[in-house]
Amino acid sequence: MHYLYRNVFCKLKKMLERTCRISGEKFVIEKDDLEFYGKRNVITAENLSDLLSGKISDCAGLPTLCPAERQRRRLSWRNERKLYKRKCDATEKDIISMYDGSSIFSIYEQKYWWSDNWDALDYGQEFDFSKSFFEQFKALQKKVPRIALHVMGNENSSYVNSSGYSKNCYLSYQTDYSEGCLYCSVASHSTDCVDCLMANKSELCYESINSNESYGSYYLFDSKNCSDSWFLKNCIGCKNCFGCVNLRNKEYYFLNKKLSKEEYDKKIKLLNLSCYSAVDGMRKKFFEFVKIVPQKFVNVINSEDFSGDGIYNSKLVKNCFDCFACENCKYCASFEYSSNCHDYDMGGYSSEWCYEIGSGGDKNFQTSFSINIWGKVSNSFYCSVGKNLSNCFGCIGLRQKKYCILNKQYTKEEYEELVPKIIEHMKKTGEWGEFFPTSMSPFAYNETVANEYFGLTKEEAERNGYIWKEEKQTVQYTGPKYEIPDDIKDVPDEILEKVLQCERSGKFFRIQKAELKFYRKMNLPIPRLHPDERHKDRMKLRNPRKLWKRKCDDCNCEIQTTFAPERPEKILCEDCYLKIVD
C-alpha cells in the first residue's frame, strides 16, 4: 500500500476542491488527506488510487463539510458548562447533571452508571437494512442510559464537568489534576486559580488566559513562568511586572519601562488594586496599550512545520489549535500527546490514527466518527460514551466489549462479515464518512462548546436548524439589590449570604466561601459579572480558530495568522518579532 501512495502522489496535479454544503465556503482535500483517509479505510484502496491519478474526483467517504463546519458539528455534541439539578433515573437521588430534568434520556448518577447493576448490551438491536444507520443509532441513543456528568476521580468537586482527578474545584470545566480551582476552563495541574482559561501548572492566578507555569499573578495572557505580576501579554520569565508586553526575564517593569524596586512598589501602591473601579480602569487601559504594541503572528513554542495557533512542542501539525506534543496531525484542537490524527477535538493522550473524534480519552487507536470515547477504544466506528472497546460499530455506553454492533454482541466472524455490508449500506444512504449530525445531539446548540467557538444568536441557530434552549434563572430573588463595596477590605462576611446580580445579564449569583477567601488573600475586588459572563469575556479575548493570509507589517513576507487583516495590531513574522522582543 505504501508503494502505491508513493507512485500515485506524483500523478495528482492539484488538490481536490470542494464546496462546503453548509457554509458554502470553498475548501480543499490535499494529497496527505487522501492518504490518511486511505489508511483509515474511510475510502477504499481502489478509490484512493483513482483519486490520486485523477481518474475520479469524488467518492463515498470524502468530507462534504469544510474543516470549520466539521469542528462545529463535533463540538455541538459537547456540553461542558450547563449543569442542572435533577433526579437519577435509577436511584431517585438528587444529582447534578449536564442533562436537565426534561431530558428524554435516562440519566444515571456516576457511581450507578459505572456499576454492574445494568448492562448496555441489554439494549442491543439488529441492524435493519431498510433504515438509515443514523435513524437506528438515534433510536438506540434514546434507550441506553447516559451518565450524568463526564467526570472521573474527583474529590469534593460536585459542580464540575469534563474534569478528572481534581480536588475542591467548583464550576470548573475540562479541568484535570487540579486543586482549589474556581470558575476555570481547561486548567491542568493547577492550584488555587480563579477565573482562568487554559491554566497549566499555575498557582494563585486570576483572570488569566493561557498562563503556563505561573504564580501569584493577575490578568496574564499568553505568558509563561511569570510571578507576582499584573496585566502581561506574551511575556516569559517575568517577575514583579505590570502592564507589559513582549518581555523576557524582566523584573520591576511598568508599561515596558524599567523602574527601581522602590519606584515600582510606589506605583503599584498608588493604583489601589484592591478596588474594583481601579482594576476595571487599568484593565481597559492595558488592552488599549496592547493594540499599539507589535504582536507575534502566532503563539507557538518549540514547534516546526506547523499552521494554526497555540501549538507547543509539536511538529507536522496543520490547521491545529491549542495542541501540545503532537505530531503529524491536522484539523485538531485542544489536543495533546498524540500522532497521526485528523479532526480530533478535546483530549488525545497518546492516541493514534483517529479521525473525526469529539472528546477522547487516552490511547484510542484507529477509531473514527465517535464522541466521548474515554480511552483504549480501537478499530471502532460511530461509538458514543465508551471505554476499553475494540471492533465496535454504532455502540453506546459499552465498556470492555468487542465485536458489537448497535450494542448487540457478535462473534468475530459475524462482525467481520456484517460491518462491510453496513458500510456499503451507509455509502448508498450518503452517511458513510459523516460524523453524527448536530440534529441528533442530546443538547441544544447554546448548551454546547460549539456556541463558544461558533457563536450564534437564537434566530441564527434556529434558521440553521439547530435547537435552542431558553435559559431560566436558577436563583429566584426579589429582595433589595446588594451594593458590593468597591474595596475588598470593606467586604464583610455577610456577602456570602447575599444574592448578587450581574451588571450585564441580570443573572443572579453568589460568592462562595473559598472564593471570598481567595479574593481576600490576593487583595482582589469582588467581580460584578456572573461567572458565565466572565467566561464569555475571556473567550472574546482569544483569537478565533481561523487562519488568514496577510503580510508581516515589517518585512512584508506572507504569514498565516489568527489576526484578521483588518485588525489594528501590528503583526510580525517570527524573525521580525524576535528583533523587538526585550
Q: What grid cell was written down for 445? A: 446548540
The three-class DSSP label of residue 427 is helix
Where b means 16+ CB within 10 Å and e means fewer, 136-148 reads bbeebbebbbbbb
Q: How many CA atoms lie within 13 A of 503 on its CB side?
A: 8
Q: Which residue has the cell 466472524?
A: 413
Check residue 478 and give its pLDDT.
75
Q: Is the distance from CB of 333 to CB of 318 less than 8 angstroms?
A: no
Q: Taking the CA atoms of the chain, what radius of gyration do you get in angstroms?
A: 25
| pLDDT exceeds 80 at position 196 | yes
**What order do you get walking across the sheet with 185-188 strand by strand?**
160-161, 172-173, 185-188, 197-200, 209-212, 218-224, 230-233, 239-245, 251-254, 257-258
pLDDT > 70 in the chain, percent? 97
Alpha-carbon distance of 56 to 58, in angstroms, equals: 6
* Residues with Cβ within 8 Å of residue 276, at least 6 apart in sequence: 484, 486, 487, 525, 526, 527, 528
pLDDT tens digits, residue range 32-80? 999 999 999 999 999 999 999 999 999 999 999 999 999 999 999 999 9
Alpha-carbon distance of 461 to 438, in angstroms, equals: 11
pLDDT level of residue 152 (50, 70, 90 thresholds):
confident
The three-class DSSP label of residue 455 is coil
| pLDDT exceeds 60 at position 457 | yes
Check residue 475 and give its pLDDT.
67
pLDDT > 90 in the chain, percent? 93
Q: Is the distance from CB of 382 to CB of 372 less than 8 angstroms?
A: no
| pLDDT exceeds 70 at position 3 | no
| pLDDT exceeds 50 at position 155 | yes
Q: Which residue has the cell 474556581?
A: 182
Q: Is the distance from CB of 192 to CB of 181 less than 8 angstroms?
A: yes
Mean pLDDT, the chain, as a whole number? 94
* Residues with Cβ within 8 Å of residue 568, at least 6 apart in sequence: 291
Alpha-carbon distance of 382 to 402, in angstroms, equals: 14
Q: Point out the least confidently predicted range of 12-16, 311-315, 564-568.
A: 12-16
Q: Using CA of residue 155, residue 160, residue 161, residue 163, what is the dihedral sign?
A: negative
| pLDDT exceeds 60 at position 1 | no
- Average pLDDT of the residues in 173-192: 96
CB atoms within 10 A of CB 200: 19
Check residue 392 and give its pLDDT.
98
The partner residues of 170 in beta bridges, in order of sequence, read: 182
- Average pLDDT of the residues in 132-136: 98
The secondary structure of the chain in percent helix, strand, coil, rounded to multiples of 5, reads 25, 30, 45
Alpha-carbon distance of 504 to 65, in angstroms, equals: 36
pLDDT tens digits, residue range 257-304? 999 999 999 999 999 999 999 999 999 999 999 999 999 999 998 999
Check residue 582 and give its pLDDT.
79
Closest CA to 535 of 79, 78, 81, 73: 81
pTM of the full structure? 0.93
How many residues does the structure list for the chain?
582
pLDDT level of residue 471 (50, 70, 90 thresholds):
confident
Closest CA to 247 of 201, 189, 193, 296: 296
pLDDT level of residue 10 (50, 70, 90 thresholds):
very low
